Amino acid sequence: MSMQESHDGTWAVCDGGGYEGHPRVFLDTSKSGVTVCPYCSKQVAVTEGKE
């Protein structure tokens, strides 16, 4: 699975990864720090201190 996070921790990108992936979606993590991809149900949590 391909997952990217923004440098400021306000969004993440998920595309499902690989041949059987899904459309790229931008996931908002600014409100609670946690979000779930609507396609593959991957849970994304913002990690503190990541450079």
Alpha-carbon span 16 to 40, nearest angstrom: 7
The backbone torsions φ and ψ at residue 10, rounded to the nearest 5 degrees and listed phi first, read -100, -10
What pLDDT is attached to residue 8? Answer: 63
What pLDDT is attached to residue 51? Answer: 46
**24 in a domain, yes or no?**
yes
* pTM of the complete model: 0.69
- The pLDDT tens digits for 1-51 are 456 655 567 888 888 877 888 999 998 888 888 889 999 998 887 776 544
Q: How many domains does the chain have?
A: 1
**50 in a domain, yes or no?**
no
What pLDDT is attached to residue 6? Answer: 57
What pLDDT is attached to residue 31? Answer: 85
What pLDDT is attached to residue 46? Answer: 74
**15 in a domain, yes or no?**
yes
Domain range enclosing 23: 3-45
